[in-house]
Structure 1
Amino acid sequence: MAYTRLTLPDRPLTLRPGLIAAPRLAGFLILVFLAVGGAIAWWQAPGLWRDWQISRNPVTVADSEVRDGKCTTRKAFFTDCEAHLVWSHGGQSYETEVSLMFVDIHSGDYYVDVVISGDKPHLATLSLGVEKLWNRIAMFAAFTALFFGGALAVLWQWIRAARGSRQLAAPGRLMLIPTEITQSQTARGVTQITYRDPSKPKRRLASNFARGEDPLMVWDDQGNARALAVRHETAALPALLDRGLMRVDLSDAERRAALDLLAAEETERFGAPQTETAPPKKKLHVLRGILTFFGIVLFFVLAALGWWLWYVLGASSQYDRVGMEINNLMPAPVNDWACGKLEERFGHLNAPWGCTAADHVSWK
């Protein structure tokens, strides 16, 4: 089944760099996956580690109280519980916040006790947390694998695209191959074409075309259209050609002869040439991508700082989990200032994590 009579010169040719594109918004997707996975780890990992230690030597405390306990079930079986625990042991009073996440098909209330570690009495949780410990670990592992695995998958596609583009940019003989286009998306003047690798039909690749560029299309005897690509003798991935043949380093005479041949073939088939021979305008979007990346990073940094300031100056409780985590990461002088502000408002209560002395209770 002949798609075209076009041939390329029998000599090493160089392709334009960057012909294999990473998935659209790859950097943003990686950041989102990492942010969500990191947030889940930040939210649940400390509690899992605490409850694992408690489960080694659990002790139920009678002199205890569960305040503001609440469990919420979403999507029929995703359950998260929160509570404020107050207990006494060995003449010392303690209090802490507990958050749990697990899978359960349950209706009605949960009846719980306060359980502490016999070895570390300052560690406490709900009896439900110990009962559902392996359930919680499995759910935590599934969610972190999903989001961190998603980030790695996108990163792998990014690396594969960069490596493939470098291989294609090296001089080498090229072989023309037709390939199927599966998707086309245009955003901000750039069209990303997704196409199949003919040698591995399940593998999808992408290539970006700037405004004024289009993929080079050819047709078989039945009128079925395919994009024309090239396979490099030393590269693993094929690359799409453009309608003006500007992606390959042909001489002006070679390019003109090739375009004339394509125009003649299209005239035979359609009655008029379909290929535009004007060289496309080249546009660079590297700076925009860099600014977008740093803009996203700046957004998350400012959001974290805003949350921290709210926690230090306006939160109704010293036990806000996110606020405590951010405050604990602050440099010592900033942390000392924040703990001083918190102590002004909550000095009559136990200190939160990040502001505690060696006894894990009093203010430092």
Structure 2
Amino acid sequence: MTPVLAAFPQRPLTLKPGRGALGGWMTTLAGLLLFGAFLAMLAIEIGPALRTDLQIRDQAVPAPQVRVTDGRCRSRLFLFQSCEVTLSWRGKDGTGTRKVSYMFVEPHMGSWSVQAMMDPSRPDLVSTDLGLDRLWNRIATLVGGAIFALVLIFGLFLVARKAQAKKREVKALSGRALRAVPVRFAGWGDGPSWRVQDEHGATFEWPVRKSDKPFVLDEARGLVLALRDPAGGPAFPLDEKLRFVQLTAEERARIEAARWRPG
């Protein structure tokens, strides 16, 4: 261990974050578009049928003049059901069609039968017994799906903000005459990230890529290589290929040689 620490140059070093903030913001943007589209789908496709069913739930009766002309349900993970039903009718005011979409949570036990329903006082509001019987289930599913999407968007935003803050920390350390020190590898965090712990128990977390591996000094003791200001402060762990710090070819060769030298 000691030869590696001694092999590091005693000069100002330029550091590079393991994972830049740009990637985090791009992931956040992609998540915003994806989950935003999901929220829009819930509002546009699922919302109108729910609004109708809330209006007619107490007065709905079978509607023999309304036919179910098309219907299809898909099951995901056995519990999540999504159905689309097309209703058609002919009356004294002419003909009409309506497509309703449902999402609900229920074990898939085979096909469902569907009967058209309507409010006699408002014949333009048509629905099905499939939707009315699962009205509160559908509302809970809609609310749960919306909350899930919003939590994911907020989580991605927090990860990106965290990566941005860490980038500033790396920039503050960069350009100083840092000292190579051993720190304990404390595991992986979200994002992903590495957590390292110094000899006093202080923990520092830095964003990295999933493919990055720390520069191991002592596997048995869980020690990895980090750079730190001699005056103290955060310890910045290095990867096994030393890509997180700018070194000359000679410095890199000296460190690699010391890596395999008995300490």
With normalisation by structure 1, the TM-score equals 0.50
The amino acid across from 1:44 in the alignment is L
- Counterpart code for 2:131: G
> Is 2:261 the counterpart of 1:267?
yes
Q: Which residue does 1:292 correspond to in 2?
A: none
Instruction: Report the counterpart of residue 230 of structure 1 in structure 2.
Output: 227
Q: CA deviation at 1:169?
A: 0.8
Q: Given the alignment of the two structures, is residue 81 of structure 1 paired with residue 86 of structure 2, yes or no?
A: no
1:132 equivalent in alignment to 2:134: yes
State the AA in 1 paired with 2:261. T
Say if 1:54 and 1:116, in contact at 8 Å, map to a contact too.
no
Contact persistence 2:116–2:128 (CA under 8 A):
yes
Deviations 1:39-91 (A, max 9, x none): 54344323432234323431444431211223344443332222211235773
Label 1:16 to 1:74 Cα distance change in 2 as closer, same or farther (>3 A).
Answer: closer
Task: Select the residue among 102, 109, 113 that pairs with 2:112.
Answer: 109
- Alignment-derived partner of residue 44 in structure 2: 46
Which of the two has greater strand per residue?
2
Q: Deviations over 1:300-335 (max 9, x none)?
A: xxxxxxxxxxxxxxxxxxxxxxxxxxxxxxxxxxxx
Distance 1:177-1:87 versus aligned 2 partners, 3 A rule: farther
Alpha-carbon separation, structure 2, partners of 1:265 and 1:73: 55
Unaligned ranges ≥5, structure 1: 184-192, 270-364
Supply the distance in 2 between the matched residues of 1:227 and 1:240 (Cα, whole angstroms): 7
Distance in 1, Cα, partners of 2:73 & 2:116: 15
Q: CA distance change for structure 1 residues 85 and 17 in 2, over 3 Å: closer, same or farther?
A: same
Counterpart-to-counterpart distance in 1, 2:206 and 2:142: 31
**Pairs within 5 Å for 1:129-168:** 129-168=131-170
The answer as to 2:39 corresponding to 1:37 is no
The match for 1:357 is: none
Task: Provide the aligned length of Structure 1 versus Structure 2.
Answer: 247
CA distance in 2, matches of 1:216, 1:71: 52
Using the size of structure 2 for normalisation, the TM-score is: 0.64
* CA 194–74 in structure 1, closer or farther in 2 if over 3 Å, else same: closer
Change (3 A) 1:28 1:73: same
Q: Is the 8 A contact 1:51 1:130 kept in 2?
A: no
Aligned runs of 1:177-326 on 2, under 5 Å? 177-180=182-185, 195-198=194-197, 199-200=202-203, 205-206=207-208, 216-219=215-218, 224=221, 226-231=223-228, 238-241=235-238, 263=257, 266-269=260-263
Q: Secondary structure of 2:97's partner?
A: strand
CA contact (8 A) 1:4 1:219 kept: no
Structure 2 counterpart of 1:178, one-letter code:
V
Q: State the alpha-carbon separation in 2 of the partners of residues 178 and 17 from structure 1.
A: 19
Which structure 2 residue ranges, 5 or more long, are not aligned?
none
Larger RCO, structures 1/2 (Cα 8 Å, 6+ apart) = 2
Query: Match of 1:267, SS?
Result: coil
Amino acid in structure 2 at the alignment position of 1:109: W
In 2: Cα distance, 1:158 partner to 1:234 partner? 29
Alpha-carbon RMSD across the aligned residues, in angstroms, is 4.9
Task: Assess if the C-alpha contact under 8 Å between 2:82 and 2:102 holds in 1.
Answer: yes
Report if aligned partners of 2:18, 2:207 keep a CA contact under 8 Å in 1: no
Percent identity between matched residues is 20
State the 1:103 CA deviation.
1.5
Q: Secondary structure at the match of 2:35?
A: helix
The letter for the 1-side match of 2:67 is E
